[in-house]
Amino acid sequence: MAYRSSGAGYADVAEHFRQRIKDGDLSPGDPLPSVAEIRAQFEVSAKTVSRALGVLKSEGLVTSRGALGTVVAEPQTVTSGVDRLPRLARTGRRYGHGEDSTGHRVMIRSVADPKVVRALELDGSEETVIRIRTFRQNGRPTSVGVSVYPPRTWTVVPELAQEERMSGFFGPLYEERTGREVSMGERVGYLRLASQDELDALEIKVPPVTPVTVFVTDVTFHDEDGPVAYWEDVYAPDARVPMPADANGQ
C-alpha cells in the first residue's frame, strides 16, 4: 500500500524506512526498493529520494551495495530497555535482527542505592523485585538492563517476581489489573564508573584497580498514585546509543 501524506518530503521517506528497519521488517542485507519504486510509492522527486537515502546512510542504517542498490546495514547502535518499547507496541517483537539477551536474574530484596530509593519513594526496608539481563547484538554484549519494581507494582503483577522472562512490557498488565495508566518519565543519561558485576556482564577484562567509565540511562515509570518502576541501562564503552527526539523515545 502506498504511503500517502500531505506534502511528503525526504524526512517522511527516511522515517518510513527507518521505522521498518528498527521494527525488524527489513533485516541487514535486505534491499530497499529502487529509486523509481520509492518515487512512485511516496509521489516524490528523485532528489527527495536521494536526500532520504543520504540521511539513512549517515545514520548507518543502510549502505550502497553495487548492483544490489541500497541495502540495510548491520546495526550500528544499541537497542535496549526503553528503546524496545515503541517496537514492542507496534509489532509485538521484543528483539530485532541479531538481538537477544542473556544472564537473566530475578531477585527480591530491599534496595540501598539512594538514587533508586528516591525514584521509587521507598523507605529503604520494602522488598523490591530486581530484574537484570545482558542485551546482546550478534552475540556481543552491548548493555546491561536493570529494572526495579516496588511492592505496589509486583504484588499486582506477580509475574515480575518469577524467573521466567516476561513476554512483554509490564505496563499493560498493570493497567488492566488496576485501571491506572502507566506513563514514562524523563529519560536521563550520565557517566559513572562501572561496577565489577557490570564489567563481568559486558565481558570487559581489565585489572581490578582499573576504573572504567560507562554511559548510563535511567527512567522512572509512574501512575496517578506514584512511581511503579525504575529502569536503568548500562552501556558498553564502545556502544553507540540512539537519543530519542522526545521523552517517549518516538
Note the pLDDT tens digit of each residue in 7-61: 579 999 999 999 898 888 898 899 999 999 999 999 999 999 999 999 999 988 9
- Over residues 175-200, mean pLDDT: 96
Could you tell me the three cell numbers for 109? 530484596
Distances (CA, A) of 98 to 44, 136, 140, 211, 244: 33, 8, 10, 30, 22
Residue that wins the pLDDT comparison between 3 and 149:
149
Q: What is the pLDDT of residue 181?
A: 97
Find, among 201, 195, 156, the residue nearest to 175 by Cα.
Answer: 156
d(CA 6, CA 132): 45
118 contact partners, CB below 8 Å, separation of at least 6:
none
217: helix, coil or strand? strand
Strand blocks (E) in 34-127: 62-64, 70-72, 99-109
Q: What is the pLDDT of residue 118?
A: 96
How many Cβ atoms sit within 10 Å of the Cβ of residue 4? Answer: 9
d(CA 171, CA 138): 28
Helices (H) and strands (E) in the chain, counts: 8, 9
| Percentage above 70 pLDDT, the chain | 94
- Over residues 134-154, mean pLDDT: 95
Note the pLDDT tens digit of each residue in 66-109: 877 899 998 878 877 788 888 888 888 888 888 899 999 999 99
- How confident is the prediction for the chain on average, in pLDDT? 90
Domains and CATH numbers, the chain: 10-72 (1.10.10.10), 81-235 (3.40.1410.10)
